[in-house]
Amino acid sequence: MAKTAVALIVWLCIALSAAAAQPSKQSIKPVRPAWTELSAAQQQVLAPLATDWSSMDSAQRKRWVVIADRYPKMKPAEQQRLQKRMKDWAALTPEQRQQARERYKNLNKLSAQQRRDMSRQWQDYRKSLAQPETQFDPAVGDPLPSGGAAPER
């Protein structure tokens, strides 16, 4: 009986302390800035991220607001690249986003020389895509030869 009473008291102490440690719904502060707190111009720039805005933490939101504020000063090509990347990011699944974050962390761990080597390899790969695989394949971007006559049937 005494063991049961002690166990009950210990359980109650743990349960009550756990309940007290949880913040009440009234004390939870909303993450700022909320989407509605953004200016119309910021909302327009960040539109591809609108559906994900509620799941972002405050630090992420603030970084995006800074980018949106810089947006009008960017060159048109930079603006297009930013818009494309935001749309691409918004289209990724949570798993794909996590994989991208991990790849980014791993790339940052490389030395400067390793990053240069990887960049050179990437450029070589991109150049190889533009080269014809055989003498009969046109290079990417080359116009196809026009035979003049339509193929016979």
pTM for this model (two decimals):
0.56
C-alpha to C-alpha distance for 145 and 153, rounded to whole angstroms: 20
| C-beta neighbour count of 67 within 10 angstroms | 15
pLDDT one digit per residue (tens) for the chain, 153 residues: 666 655 556 565 565 565 555 555 555 677 889 999 999 999 999 999 999 898 888 998 999 999 999 999 999 999 999 999 999 988 999 899 899 989 989 888 889 999 899 899 989 988 888 776 666 666 666 666 665 555 554
